[in-house]
Structures are given as C-alpha cells and as structure tokens.
C-alpha cells in the first residue's frame, strides 16, 4: 500500500478524531504509512458569525474536497454532520466507522438540571436544531448564540452570562473529557440529534479501489444503514443549517431500521416529527420525508430558505 495522506480540518477536535481513525486503521494494518495534512476551511475562518447565516454545512468540507480532486490528499476524515447530503461526482464516502454517542450533552453551572432552570435562564448553542427543541419544551428559557471550540465554550459558560451550554457528546468524548463535566446527556426524546451526529465520514475518490478496499476493513455496515436513512431524509427535505432539522436512526432488536425525522420552526412553536421502521434506509428516509411534507413541514423549509 502506498503512503496515504489524510486531509483534516485544523481544529483540535478534527485532528484528534483523524488520529483516532488512523490508529484504528493501523490496528488492522500496522504497516501503513499515513500522514495528516491540515487544511483550514472557510468555516474555520469565520468565527464571529452564525454558520446558518453564512452558508451552512459545506463551509467545513469544500476546501478539503478540492484537495481530493487535485490529488493532494488521499482521503478526508469528516464529522459526518458537517457533510452536505450530496457528495460531488467523483468522490464517495468510502467508510463509515463505529459511531460515538450521537446525543447532545447538557452542561450547566452548578449542575442545575434543565427542567429546574429558572425563567430567563440563558442556554448557549449555535445550533438552530438545539435551540428550537429546547424552546418548544421550555419556552421560559432563552437561547443565546455561542461559537468556538469545546474549551472556548466551556470557558464562556464560566465567564459570560450563560447558565448552561449544549454540545455534541461525541466531541467531548473524543477529546477525552470525563462524564463528570456533563450535567446530563439529552436522549432523543428530549433533543433529537443532528443528521449523522457522532459518526465520521471517510471521503475519498470514487476510483481509488486500493484505498476503498482498505477502508472496508474498518467499515460499520449497521452505522452506514442508519446514517444513510438520516442523510436521505436530509436530502429529500432540502435541509440545511438554515433549518432546524434533526434525524436519528437505530437498528432495533428485529434488525430493522427505526428512523425518526424532525422539522421545526426556529422559535420552537411548530414541530413536525414522524418515526418509521423498515429494511431499506433510503426508502425509510424518503417515507419520513413524504409524511412530514404532507403534514406541512416543507413550508417551514421553503420560507427559511427564501429568507437567506
């Protein structure tokens, strides 16, 4: 096998999860020679604006995909929730490895439970999905935009006027934070995760058979089925960072896929949600999308996309 060059965002989390994936590859193929090339994306450069206002998901992957096309790197290791539902022609997700905890972590001052926060308490999140779901269940709370890496957000919780923040549990765990810092993990009944949250997507060129064969050695077929249902729903709903959209699939005890899709208004006042069970991840994503469209959810998406 040739020497492999991995493209990764320069953030501490991106580099850490890239190294963790490389270590996983080397467990099955110790002889591999792999290096990481750090790539600064537009999303990394824009730190003072809400992502939904400046272009959304593709901000974290476009420069990296260009490096793949130019053969400067062999594969890219993405947080799957940052990857748009449509992959450019010539590229493919060659591997979906094991998924980390997909839920969100709620971290509050003095470990005050979410249900006990007093009226007017401020929760920091940069996610429309998180904000909408919190407001729908706890309309007496206030959502305040927050950006930055994990360390920055935790520091802001201590030094600024936030009573709590919500972060992806996967990032915390990959960075080695102990569960002690988390007040509680919010399961799907409280906060439905983002599409692909907790999963990695390993992107490479579609014609790189040698690498694609290697990646299959650390590929998780069950996780692939789940995220395919989620990402199909995202594509069918024309979802983006401008839209509070969530989706989460699991494999149940009968080895069927159970998928829940969610669309909301940013203020949490309108909620469209549907769960379906089936064998085909693609058909499942389409089915949930069809039901939500029939309920009127697409009108929310149309309005929000028109506003941008």
Q: Which of 82, 104, 163, 208 is catalytic?
A: 82
pLDDT tens profile 168-192: 999 999 999 989 999 999 999 999 9
The residues of the chain scoring below 70 in pLDDT are: 42-59, 239-241, 308
Q: What is the set of domains in the chain, with CATH numbers?
A: 4-98+199-219 (3.40.190.10), 104-186 (3.40.190.10), 233-307 (3.30.160.40)
pLDDT tens profile 30-66: 999 999 999 987 655 555 555 545 455 566 788 999 9
pTM of the model: 0.91
DSSP for 207-262, written as a single string: T-HHHHHHHGGG--HHHHHHHHHHHHHHHHTT--TTS-EEEEEEE-TTS-EEEEEE
Residue 248 has a pLDDT of 98
Residue 48 has a pLDDT of 52
CB contact at 8 A, 32 and 64: no
Residue 54 has a pLDDT of 46
Residue 56 has a pLDDT of 54
Angle (CA) 265 193 229, round 5°? 100
Residue 174 has a pLDDT of 95
CB contact at 8 A, 232 and 284: yes
Residue 170 has a pLDDT of 96
Residue 59 has a pLDDT of 65
Residue 231 is inside which H or E element, if any? Answer: helix 221-236
CB contact at 8 A, 83 and 65: no
How far CA 42 is from CA of 54, 62, 63, 160, 270, in Å, comes to: 10, 8, 8, 27, 32
First to last CA, the chain: 46
- Told to judge if 208 belongs to the known catalytic residues of this protein, a careful annotator would answer no
């Amino acid at each position: 096998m040739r020497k492999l060059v991995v493209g990764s965002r320069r953030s501490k989390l991106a580099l850490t999860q890239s190294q963790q994936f490389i270590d996983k590859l080397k467990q099955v193929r110790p002889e591999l020679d792999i290096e990481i090339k750090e790539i600064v994306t537009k999303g990394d450069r824009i730190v003072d604006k809400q992502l939904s206002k400046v272009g959304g998901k593709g901000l974290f992957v476009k420069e990296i995909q260009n490096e793949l096309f130019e053969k400067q790197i062999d594969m890219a290791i993405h947080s799957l929730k940052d990857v748009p539902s449509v992959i450019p022609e010539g590229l493919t997700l060659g591997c979906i490895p094991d998924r980390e905890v997909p839920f969100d972590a709620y971290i509050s001052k003095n470990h005050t439970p979410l249900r006990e926060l007093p009226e007017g308490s401020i929760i920091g999140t940069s996610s429309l999905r998180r904000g909408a779901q919190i407001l729908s269940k706890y309309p007496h709370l206030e959502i305040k935009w927050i950006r930055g890496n994990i360390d920055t957000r935790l520091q802001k919780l201590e030094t600024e006027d936030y009573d709590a923040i919500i972060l992806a549990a996967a990032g915390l765990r990959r960075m080695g934070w102990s569960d002690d810092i988390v007040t509680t993990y919010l399961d799907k009944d409280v906060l439905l995760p983002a599409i692909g949250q907790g999963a990695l997507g390993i992107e490479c060129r579609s014609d790189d058979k040698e690498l694609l064969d290697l990646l299959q050695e650390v590929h998780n077929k069950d996780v692939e089925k789940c995220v395919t249902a989620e990402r199909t729903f995202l594509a069918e709903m024309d979802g983006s960072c401008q839209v509070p959209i969530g989706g989460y699939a699991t494999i149940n005890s009968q080895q069927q896929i159970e998928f829940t899709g969610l669309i909301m208004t940013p203020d949490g006042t309108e909620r469209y949600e549907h769960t379906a069970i089936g064998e085909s991840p693609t058909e499942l994503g389409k089915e949930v999308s069809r039901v939500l469209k029939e309920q009127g959810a697409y009108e929310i998406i149309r309005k929000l996309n028109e506003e941008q």
